[in-house]
Structure 1
């Protein structure tokens, strides 16, 4: 674990808001020179605090108007390995995230589709045919608010 000071936390806060900021723009926001800012960001990357930059796409603008969260319960786990399921579900482009969870379901998937009919096609032809799938529970996303920022 790395020790973070107030400037490091400020850098993380600004990068969480806009990961594309240049070192000079970031430095102006936290009161550092461009080289000092660059060195700090490099240190945070090398320590694993910054694992990469992320681009958020507007799925609705791209024609994907439906997002569904699926709870997936696998059947007999001895017959199908978790790795086999994860490998197969990772190949489905509509599946945006795969989370192995503890609780009622074994996995939680975030699936995007153009519309409900497209989602039904993905569910019937791709997800329900995955190895080991015993039960699927769906929750359609109505709205989403994201509060950006570090923990």
Structure 2
């Protein structure tokens, strides 16, 4: 585990809110030079504290009006490997996240679709045909609030 000081924690919090900030702007905010800030950020990246920077797309604005969380229990009789299931589900473009979980279901998927008929098509033709797919529970997302802050 990497040792973090107060400035590292402040940089992490600032970058979690907006990863597009320049090292120069962050340095001014925290009393560091641009090179010193850049070195700190690079050190945090190399240590794995800071991961990939990604754009957060608005699914609604892109025509995906429905988000569904699926709980999937693998069929025990199918003898499918977890890797085979994960590889197959990751190839479905409507599946945004795949989480292997402990509990009632084996996997939780976040699936986007244009509307409910489109979701039904994805469910019937893609998800229910996955190797080892057993019980499925669907929960339609009504609204989403994002908590501010890193963790």
- TM class by shorter chain equals over 0.9
Note the residue ranges of structure 1 that are not aligned, 5 or more in a row.
none
CA distances 1:113-142 after superposition (whole Å, capped 9, x unpaired)? 011111000000000000111110000000
TM-superposed CA distance for 1:26, in Å, is: 1.5
Structure 2 equivalent of residue 92 of structure 1: 92
Give the distance between the partners of 1:110 and 1:83, measured in 2 at CA.
Answer: 18
Residue of structure 1 in register with 2:15 after alignment:
15
Q: Counterparts of 1:58 and 1:105 in 2: how far apart (Å)?
A: 28
The 5-angstrom pairing of residues 1-151 of structure 1 reads 1-76=1-76, 79-151=79-151
- The alignment's TM-score, normalised by the length of structure 2, stands at 0.97
Provide the C-alpha distance between the structure 1 equivalents of 2:77 and 2:106, rounded to a whole number of angstroms: 10
CA contact (8 A) 2:17 2:150 kept: no
> Is 72-81 or 140-149 further displaced after alignment?
72-81
SS of structure 1 residue aligned to 2:38: helix
Deviation, 1:100, is 0.2
When residues 77 and 87 of structure 1 are mapped into structure 2, their CA distance, relative to the original with a 3 A threshold, is farther
> What is the number of equivalent residue pairs in this alignment?
151
Moved over 2 A (4+): none
| Structure 2: stretches of 5+ with no match in the other structure | none
SS of 2:49's equivalent in the other structure is coil
1:111 Cα deviation after fit: 0.2
TM-score by length of 1: 0.97
Distance 1:78 1:110 in 2: 23
Aligned CA RMSD, in angstroms, stands at 1.0
